[in-house]
Structure 1
Amino acid sequence: MRKLLLTVALTALIGPAFAKPTEEAGAPLLKATPSQAEAAVWATRFLTRFHYKPTPLDDAMSEQIFKRYLDSLDGDKLFFTQADVDKFSQYKDKLDDAIYDQDLTAPYAMFNIYQQRVGDRVAYARALLAKGFDFGVEETYQYDREKAPWAKETSELDDLWRKRVKNDWLRLKLANKADKDIRETLDKRYANYLDRVRQLNSEDVFQTFMNAYASSIEPHTNYLGPRASENFDIAMKLSLEGIGAVLQRDDDYTAIREIVPGGPAALSGKLKVGDRIVGVGQGEHGQIVDVIGWRLDDVVEKIRGAKDTVVRLEVLPADAGPDGKHVMLDLTRKKVSIEEQAAKKSIIDVKDGERTRKIGVISLPTFYQDFDARRRGDRNYKSATRDVERLLGELKTDKVDGVIVDLRNNGGGSLAEATDLTGLFIDKGPVVQVRNAGGQVEAEEDGNPGMAWDGPLAVLVNRASASASEIFAAAIQDYGRGLIVGEPTFGKGTVQNLVDLDDVAHNEKPTFGEVKMTIAQFFRINGGSTQLRGVTPDISFPLTVDAKDFGESSYDNALPWTSIPPAKYAPVADLKPVVPMLVERHGARTAKNVEWQNFEADIADVRKLRAEKTVSLNEQARRKERDEQEAKRKSRDQASNSATPAADPASKTVQKIHENAGVQPRTRKGDVDGGAEIALDDKKNGGAAQKRENTDNPSAKDENAVLQDDGLQPDERSITSDVEREKQAKDKRDVVLDEAAHILADEIGLIRTDTKLAARILPYGAASTQVD
């Protein structure tokens, strides 16, 4: 399409395409700013020229952007009708020109119609609450609508929403809520949802549109707006400057969910869980700004600030009613460490006959590093490798017999950290090979001789172990250095670079945001790739999720698997002789282990529920199903302390609309000093030319940590109640980790009774072992 015609064409098309959205109070029509239009052009220059898979921004790409943007607005097909989509379709081949000509009218017009449709649907849903429902009718609700067709007309959407609201009501009814309470709960739920959508701003829309473009090239390419970029950096360095409080939305309030130990909030002793922040002021005498009803990330922006500056908080105590007395509190901001995501250690004692094997466990949620601090020469910069090395030293002092590195749900992080961490367990040599867009291959190597741990080693992984986790696990496997235990990993084999658009445009203030784009592919030292295939464990556990539903192979535009020649390396051991023996012992043990059998049964139940796309809206049928599952849960819990799935099949899947307000960034239940949820996947390493390894932090849902369904959304429970539910889930016995510890203890028992076997499967042979 000729770009010179674009501005006139779009202006002409938008007028007759739709009735003009009403600009109600609280729902202003949004439009792009000049800086956003300019940022889109800067992003395009990098994406079309320097991406590993350079793809022109043309009419074909425009159609892909259109499809993904529409999906990001209404992926469950709950708001738009086919008529809406047909009218939107005139933009299919014009979005490329919209970017080049810096006229983003089209995507914003689509969003404004979306916002209007949300208002229509919410009004309809709230009107249904006054009428009530007949739960004796035999009908079903299709809650998974990803592949469903668009509603042909508004009456079809009406029926869909009638069933949706009926299902919400039934879930609360099954949880023994009274009709009056159900009406109040749901009315507030739908009103809050509409409020969140109306609070979306131009930056949200722009980020969503640009992400539709970036991810149309391949799955791990993204655009981050200025605020998302800031949160991204915090996630990588595991620290920020603020008060050290985990915040969450609580109706119109911003409430304290958790106090971070050692932070200003904790040291003051004046804040507690459940307290509500109603006003924020800057400096000792700054005016207090009322923040009731604000977006969480807007409140966060007020609370965060430079180290050693003062923030004033007006607080409504947790135990006070709406008209309770407010408390004023002055806090001096400090650097706060987010230790929840840092490496941690524990020890599991495993009985082996008359002996007890001590198995050290290092849990690593992400491969983090504070690159800015390291570049400044800060000797105490935060680093996953440094933390793990310290923990290994402590475990050696504790005289553990073996070590498990737990990488479950670790979506990755820094490529350098993956290399350095591997170096703690091998002498020296290549860890991973990286091929750039020009076809050049370089090996990332561990050049430091010696090992922090040379004893028996296992790496525990699951489907959500991705990228940097896969680099580490693959290297350990290729060197024969340790056992890989668990599920096949995610299958992400690409490297991303984080480009600061403000840097390249020489902007003094963060304005344009950042582009995270794939610039290379990494390969195992044996020449294979983790792309699509992931890392296959030596000893496999039951699959919690199907590859078609989660992982690299679930993306429609993932890069294909390929291979290159192997690097020059020498395996340090050969685990092949011991694996069959360990598999046999694992099978025999778990066949008699009630907790493991319950774990497998739980997984089977969840997979069955996930395969179902509909749920009954008949109370008797639903109650029977709920009671059967509850009986099953109680029976299993009596036999073991393992967690079980939710009692209601619709307890999680049907919440998608309420958890994700269209294009609004999803938020955690809480975040340090609040803020939008971000992927823990890249590093910011001193300039756009640096390699930055991305993982997108794929987070598999822990279906085995779900408690009985109460029909409520997280922000509808009291914070103390919700925290207690999480604690109960965490306190459940980790049967997977326990079994991994038993497997490693089996290996230790075998090698300590057979020095010839030990010589084959441990680095430096039997010199690293002792005979029992």
Structure 2
Amino acid sequence: MKLVFPCTLMALAIMTNTAAAPVAAQKDASIWVARVLDRLRYKTEGQPEGANGHPFDRFIEALDSERMVFTQASLANMANQRVQLDKLTSEKQMDTLNGIFSDYLARSVALHTYRQEALRQAPAFHGHEQFQRERSKARWEPDDTALRDLWRRQVMDDYLNLRLAGVSEDQVIPTLQRRYERNLQRVQAMRYGDVADLFLQAYVESYDPHGAYLAPGKTSPEHLLGDMVGIGLTLQKKDDLITVLEVVPGTDADRSGDIAPGDRIIGVAQGIGQPMQEVIGWKVDEVAALLRGAPGSQLVIDILPQGIPRGQVARRIIVTRTKVQLDDQRTKGRIERIARGANNYRIGVITIPTFYQDYTARRAGAKDYLSVSRDVAAAVAQMKQQKADAILLDMRNNGGGSLSEAIELTGLFLPGVPVVQQISSDRRLTVERTPLAAPAWNGPLAVLIDRRSAAATEIIAAAIQDYGRGLVLGDLSYGRGSVQTVLSLDRFSTDSSKAYGDVRLTVAVLCRAGGKPIQRFGVTPDISIPGYVDMTGKANADLYGGANCKTQDIAKSGALDALLPKLNALHTSRMQVARPEGDIAQSQLKEAIAVLSDVAAQARQEPRP
């Protein structure tokens, strides 16, 4: 059976797509995207191009992430279009997107029509049918007959999910009708610019897994909510659900501890007692708009925690909108006092949530420009005045940033030594050294990391560990050893009225000072202190595996290695007596402080009580 598209619906699809005429600037931009990727990105030796997926395939997956529109047969019929989009060499290739989107739009209209018809009759549940809810890894149905049956089972599953979630029977069908109507409206609202942006993003990702195309006037996904009056979340869309990518430090979402990366937002209400707006299938910017509002106002959010399948009962939380201030994201230090019998220890805790630097002020020659390494140096100086016995660098959830800042920060504790090897896109190997100066701190030191500690954070932790300067505590880190830069394509435009956007691309890979890659391996802690379980996916373990760094010996102090068996024994005994309770992150930090106080006790040459 083949899907039949009524004439009125097909006309609507054609009319919508006609309004989406190709934009000259985007067609020009496509060529520069391809040229920049080909010439400047880091290419893994021995890895064939397209190893991260064909541009056509990634584009289709972006359009139809749930495998509910296309079929194996319809995709086979687009074999010529797949070839045409293999590698961009002419702006005319972008015209291929029109035909693909016309088919997608017509099929989306047919899906909507079927859903509305199916809701006019009560679903029949026989107890013997199944529907795969997590669709991102599902196969496309072989043909239109199988696809129509999939639609039928999805409507039944959506109906059942709402009933299980507590929606009254008389409200289930109206709720689904609104959901399906909104889904179609979003598709019909798409224009060529949206389709072209989607394809260029897919094209970049097929060649550079850490790359991105940033359309003109759009900010990087990592900072979608950076200047908002909201709750402090960075969002992305995964499998038709809005997923939390990052919780911004210092915001109400961060302080509450109720939201974690990997959680899915499925509903938003503008205050207690207000109607809950379902946001399944919405775009990121649409949900972001719901989250923004007046400072101090409240939001009620339905959360599907990471790892919990769709269809389960959501967790409802209340958060307050607050303006994100730079000071909330800056490095902060404090002293934790630990009493052990007659002995008291002062453990300095420096929280480093992100890397930052005022590049403009630095380039202008300002002497007091803002930077994370300077803030850490100031915190260390203050802790020395407060007679700290040891210092803990809390770098959990820190996804990295400026490489130069990572080197400067490492130099506060390891001056004048090689800390990282960098292989550029032209295969030049550079060994980066920290500045030669007096160390800011000579006492006991530890770095606390977790599964979301990445890139620049891993450079610091690896160097502290490699030279035996301090302990690394917590979880295995993320394992992202690559360097990205953002290149403006507007420099190639000969017409000031045409904006091409930006490309973020990988330009180098990193290895530890001794030559071991960071990518794939991450940093393994000296003492494991489990934190939150990370369920956001593997750390791109198969990427950039061919980095040939230079193996070299590192002059490592053996003092901590000799102490590790005793420290591990003390840690194990504490964990057996007092199981972590309440907030996992706080329990992890508490134990890290306890381990460091053990080191401080040894440094004082006092017996451990």
Deviations 1:622-652 (A, max 9, x none): xxxxxxxxxxxxxxxxxx4247xxxxxxxxx
Equivalent in the alignment of 1:518 = 506
Equivalent in the alignment of 1:576 = 561
Alpha-carbon shift at residue 521 of structure 1 (Å): 1.8
2:437 corresponds to 1:449: yes
Match of 1:81 among 71, 74, 78: 71
Check whether the contact 2:509–2:547 (CA below 8 A) recurs between aligned residues.
no
Match of 2:470 among 470, 473, 482: 482
Alpha-carbon shift at residue 153 of structure 1 (Å): 3.0
| 1:224–1:451 distance in 2 versus 1, CA, 3 Å | same
Partner amino acid, structure 1, of 2:42:
Y
2:167 corresponds to 1:177: yes
Distance in 2 (alpha carbons) for counterparts of 1:736 and 1:572: 26
Equivalent in the alignment of 1:93 = 83
Distance in 2 (alpha carbons) for counterparts of 1:356 and 1:158: 71
2:394 corresponds to 1:406: yes
Alpha-carbon shift at residue 394 of structure 1 (Å): 4.2
2:206 corresponds to 1:216: yes
Equivalent in the alignment of 2:593 = 741
Deviations 1:2-53 (A, max 9, x none): xxxxxxxxxxxxxxxxx96733887765343111111111122222223221
| 1:412–1:577 distance in 2 versus 1, CA, 3 Å | same
Deviations 1:457-512 (A, max 9, x none): 22222222221121111111112122112222222222223221112446646711
Distance in 1 (alpha carbons) for counterparts of 2:537 and 2:298: 41
Alpha-carbon shift at residue 350 of structure 1 (Å): 4.4
Check whether the contact 2:52–2:208 (CA below 8 A) recurs between aligned residues.
no
Equivalent in the alignment of 2:141 = 151
Equivalent in the alignment of 1:415 = 403
Distance in 2 (alpha carbons) for counterparts of 1:566 and 1:449: 26
Partner amino acid, structure 1, of 2:545:
P
Alpha-carbon shift at residue 551 of structure 1 (Å): 0.5
Alpha-carbon shift at residue 300 of structure 1 (Å): 9.6
Alpha-carbon shift at residue 744 of structure 1 (Å): 1.9
Alpha-carbon shift at residue 90 of structure 1 (Å): 2.2
Partner amino acid, structure 2, of 1:142:
Q
Distance in 2 (alpha carbons) for counterparts of 1:746 and 1:73: 55
Equivalent in the alignment of 2:242 = none
Alpha-carbon shift at residue 355 of structure 1 (Å): 4.1
Alpha-carbon shift at residue 376 of structure 1 (Å): 3.4
Aligned length in residues: 534
| 1:204–1:583 distance in 2 versus 1, CA, 3 Å | farther
Distance in 1 (alpha carbons) for counterparts of 2:65 and 2:285: 24
| 1:750–1:60 distance in 2 versus 1, CA, 3 Å | closer
| 1:175–1:108 distance in 2 versus 1, CA, 3 Å | same
Match of 2:352 among 350, 358, 364: 364
Superposition pairs for residues 195-210 of structure 1, below 5 Å? Answer: 195-210=185-200
Equivalent in the alignment of 2:150 = 160
Partner amino acid, structure 2, of 1:376:
A
Alpha-carbon shift at residue 363 of structure 1 (Å): 2.9
**Structure having greater relative contact order (Cα 8 Å, sep ≥ 6):** 1
Partner amino acid, structure 2, of 1:747:
V
Distance in 2 (alpha carbons) for counterparts of 1:391 and 1:115: 57
Partner amino acid, structure 2, of 1:736:
Q
Check whether the contact 1:169–1:186 (CA below 8 A) recurs between aligned residues.
yes
Equivalent in the alignment of 1:309 = none
| 1:367–1:115 distance in 2 versus 1, CA, 3 Å | farther
2:376 corresponds to 1:388: yes
| 1:417–1:174 distance in 2 versus 1, CA, 3 Å | same
| 1:59–1:354 distance in 2 versus 1, CA, 3 Å | closer
Stretch moving more, 733-742 or 482-491? 733-742
2:182 match: secondary structure = helix
Alpha-carbon shift at residue 207 of structure 1 (Å): 2.7
Alpha-carbon shift at residue 174 of structure 1 (Å): 3.6
2:23 corresponds to 1:33: yes
Partner amino acid, structure 2, of 1:592:
V
Alpha-carbon shift at residue 95 of structure 1 (Å): 1.1
2:26 match: secondary structure = helix
Partner amino acid, structure 1, of 2:356:
Y
Equivalent in the alignment of 2:426 = 438
2:57 corresponds to 1:67: yes
Structure 2, unpaired ranges of 5+: 1-8, 236-247, 252-268, 272-281, 300-322
Check whether the contact 1:59–1:96 (CA below 8 A) recurs between aligned residues.
no
Check whether the contact 1:642–1:734 (CA below 8 A) recurs between aligned residues.
yes
Partner amino acid, structure 2, of 1:33:
V
Equivalent in the alignment of 2:481 = 493
Equivalent in the alignment of 1:753 = 605
Alpha-carbon shift at residue 429 of structure 1 (Å): 2.2
Match of 1:565 among 550, 553, 556: 550
Match of 1:551 among 539, 545, 554: 539
| 1:60–1:594 distance in 2 versus 1, CA, 3 Å | closer
Deviations 1:47-102 (A, max 9, x none): 2223221899x997998212222222223322212222112222222114654243
Distance in 1 (alpha carbons) for counterparts of 2:514 and 2:329: 31
Partner amino acid, structure 1, of 2:567:
L
Alpha-carbon shift at residue 374 of structure 1 (Å): 2.8
Equivalent in the alignment of 2:582 = 641
Identity of aligned residues (%): 33
Equivalent in the alignment of 1:590 = 575
Structure 1, unpaired ranges of 5+: 1-18, 250-257, 262-272, 276-293, 305-312, 320-334, 596-639, 644-732, 756-770
Deviations 1:647-689 (A, max 9, x none): xxxxxxxxxxxxxxxxxxxxxxxxxxxxxxxxxxxxxxxxxxx
Alpha-carbon shift at residue 163 of structure 1 (Å): 4.1
Distance in 1 (alpha carbons) for counterparts of 2:51 and 2:412: 44
Distance in 2 (alpha carbons) for counterparts of 1:52 and 1:584: 44
Partner amino acid, structure 2, of 1:366:
T
2:58 corresponds to 1:117: no
Check whether the contact 2:485–2:505 (CA below 8 A) recurs between aligned residues.
yes
Q: CA-atom RMSD, angstroms?
A: 4.3
Superposition pairs for residues 244-283 of structure 1, below 5 Å? Answer: 274=270
Check whether the contact 1:434–1:520 (CA below 8 A) recurs between aligned residues.
yes
Alpha-carbon shift at residue 114 of structure 1 (Å): 2.7
